[in-house]
Amino acid sequence: MTSQKVRKAVFPVAGLGTRFLPATKAVPKEVLPLVDRPLIQYAIDEAREAGVTDFIFVTAKGKSALENYFDGAPDLVRSLKAKGKTDLLAAIEPSNMASGAISYIRQQEALGLGHAVWCARRLIGDEPFAVILPDDVIASDQPCLSQMVDAFEQTGGNIVAAMSVPESQISSHGVIDPKGRNGRLVEMKGMVEKPDAQDAPSNLAVIGRYILNSSVMANLAAMKVGAGGEIQLTDAIADDIRHGVATYGCQFEGQRYDCGSKAGFLQATVAFALARDDLRQEFGDFLVSMMAISEAAE
């Protein structure tokens, strides 16, 4: 049991988003809409539901649309109120942030996820903190970060979100070297970034949710360059394990979509649209007709 609370979350959003070019030449990946809400809104909602009160964005040049999204919109609110559009007022409500709850730090150069997280070190201080990658979207009954906070309150230490992946995907992820298991929690003896499938210690991949001790920030300060020539968060967590900090993979309940890839974004769009009462019928009928056309063409 730990009495420490996870109040702060870092959202590293300074990547170049090359898999979504040309769109990301002008529009940050994190504001691309999944049905009708930008990716970043799903991440913020998940953090709020897990008890986070301080939201720290690590941004870069070209991300102003993301910052603008969280600005107040008094003219819009006035106009919607005057027209009695209560449903639309409710739709924009989650993008309202309490004054002072949100901070923006710049990453001057895209040196890797670990470097982006390190840029937030002064705002984190010596508290445990969450890291959320907004392009990993997770559909679940209990939000993924909230499942991890429940686990953290029992174990302390570091917790990373983990899921089994097919062999063909192992080399795209950080991979867990497992020591033991307690239900959904896998205690780790190490972690490797993007191993070759034949050298991987397991098929348990780390995906974009973390609860970390501030000691990980201290490890990042070494600026160790890892896989792909980038400063990797995985390496700093692996250092913590070597220093004896208990670290667990949490096999969360839920379906993860890689919205940083085109196929993953399209899959998420279909799944989230079909989960919506206002879209299911019309969109479902459309999908059925598309399937019939494509089968007839084969």
What residues make contact with ligand UTP under the rule CB under 6 A? 12-19, 58, 107, 110-113, 115-116, 133, 135, 260
Nearer to ligand UTP, 136 or 239 (CB): 136
Nearer to ligand UTP, 40 or 241 (CB): 40
Nearer to ligand UTP, 5 or 194 (CB): 194
In contact, 210 and 110? CB cutoff 8 Å: no
For residue 12, give the DSSP letter: E
Q: In the numeric block, which tokens belong to residue 284?
A: 């479902």
- The count of residues in the chain is 298
In order, the DSSP letters of 188-239 are EEEEEES--GGG-S-SEEEEEEEEE-THHHHHHTT--B-GGGSB-HHHHHHH
Nearer to ligand UTP, 28 or 143 (CB): 28
The nearest distance, CB 21 to ligand UTP, in angstroms, is 8
Cis amide prior to 22 (ω within 30 degrees): yes
The nearest distance, CB 87 to ligand UTP, in angstroms, is 31
Nearer to ligand UTP, 173 or 185 (CB): 173
The nearest distance, CB 220 to ligand UTP, in angstroms, is 12
Instruction: Report the distance separating Cα 126 and Cα 129, nearest Å.
Output: 9
Nearer to ligand UTP, 77 or 227 (CB): 227
CA-nearest of 110, 107, 162, 159 to 136 is 162
The nearest distance, CB 173 to ligand UTP, in angstroms, is 10
The closest residue (CB) to ligand UTP is 15
The nearest distance, CB 276 to ligand UTP, in angstroms, is 25
The nearest distance, CB 258 to ligand UTP, in angstroms, is 9
Nearer to ligand UTP, 102 or 111 (CB): 111
Nearer to ligand UTP, 110 or 245 (CB): 110
Task: To the nearest 10°, report the CA torsion of 126, 130, 131, 133.
Answer: -160
The nearest distance, CB 218 to ligand UTP, in angstroms, is 19
- SS3 state at 285: helix
Q: From residue 283, how far is each of 5, 88, 200, 276 by CA, in Å?
A: 42, 21, 41, 10
Contacts of 152 (CB under 8 A, 6+ apart): 2, 6, 128, 159, 211
The nearest distance, CB 194 to ligand UTP, in angstroms, is 10
At 220, which amino acid appears?
Answer: L
Helices then strands (H, E): number in the chain?
12, 13
